[in-house]
């Protein structure tokens, strides 16, 4: 389950990291099944030329972590994910949510995923920077708390792994608007996700 906000959903004409991730998985012989309650990008279909691209996801344009938390139980019950890729927190920062609330809500999302699947594996992103220096400072501070959250929530049956999407991501060259990844940024994100999940497929 690709889970998040617009960075996960993508928009009309932009595939998001899900397209190159799908391509990597299939070219290396993995049989992946993306799950989620959505299939489209914001305002239209995602652009992805990969054969038989699995469009299912739960990336919701402009949503905060608390909004995802309010719906995750129903989404998980209908799709029953084994692995969940979480990239959330960007909109929390823009909407002046506190770090404490975002971290708490991420923890609760993990709890609710486990109600549906006690053995779910969670991959928690240190999220990408934006072109706003102030927002990126806040995002960096939030990212620094992800390892502690993962350590606190991880169990033997349901591990939580941190995936560093921050390091090496440059908004000026890797996004098309300062926030959302372009083809270069999508590829960077996909590679980080792939390296994190490939041993667990």
CATH (one of 3.30.70.2740, 3.20.20.150, 3.40.50.10710, 3.40.50.1110) for 60-198? 3.40.50.1110
Q: What is the pLDDT of residue 196?
A: 98
Is the per-residue pLDDT at 44 higher than 80?
Answer: no
Average pLDDT over residues 144-158: 98
DSSP state, 11? Answer: B
- The residues, any chain, with a CB within 8 Å of residue 93's CB and separated by 6 or more, are 135, 138, 139, 142
- The residues, any chain, with a CB within 8 Å of residue 194's CB and separated by 6 or more, are 21, 24, 25
Q: How confident is the model at residue 150 (pLDDT cuts 50, 70, 90)?
A: very high
pTM: 0.97
CA pair distance 113, 78, nearest whole angstrom:
11
Share of the chain above pLDDT 70, in %: 100
- Determine contact, residues 125/86, Cβ cutoff 8 Å: yes
Q: Domain ranges for the chain, please list them.
A: 60-198
Q: How confident is the model at residue 43 (pLDDT cuts 50, 70, 90)?
A: confident
Query: What DSSP assignment string belongs to 104-147?
Result: HHHHHHHHHHHHH-TT-EEEEEEPPP-S-HHHHHHHHHHHTTHH
Q: What is the pLDDT of residue 105?
A: 98
Q: How confident is the model at residue 66 (pLDDT cuts 50, 70, 90)?
A: very high
Is the per-residue pLDDT at 91 higher than 80?
Answer: yes
Is the per-residue pLDDT at 69 higher than 90?
Answer: yes
Q: How far does Cα 165 stand from its chain's mean position?
A: 10
């Amino acid at each position: 389950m690709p889970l998040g906000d617009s960075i996960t959903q993508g928009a009309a004409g932009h595939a998001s990291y899900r397209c190159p991730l799908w391509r990597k998985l299939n070219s290396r012989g993995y049989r992946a099944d993306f799950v989620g309650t959505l299939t489209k990008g914001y305002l239209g279909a995602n652009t992805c030329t990969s054969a038989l691209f699995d469009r299912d996801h739960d990336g919701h344009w402009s949503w905060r972590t608390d909004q995802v938390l309010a719906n995750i139980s129903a989404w998980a019950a209908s799709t029953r994910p084994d692995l969940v890729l979480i990239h959330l927190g960007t909109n929390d920062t823009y909407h002046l949510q506190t770090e404490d609330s975002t971290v708490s809500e991420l923890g609760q999302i993990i709890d609710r995923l486990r109600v549906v699947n006690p053995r779910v594996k969670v991959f928690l992103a240190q999220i990408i920077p934006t072109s706003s220096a102030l927002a990126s400072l806040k995002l960096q501070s939030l990212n620094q708390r992800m390892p502690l959250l993962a350590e606190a929530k991880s169990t033997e049956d349901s591990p939580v792994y941190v995936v560093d999407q921050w390091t090496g991501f440059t908004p000026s060259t890797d996004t098309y608007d300062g926030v959302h990844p372009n083809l270069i940024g999508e590829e960077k994100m996909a590679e980080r996700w792939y390296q994190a999940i490939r041993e667990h497929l």
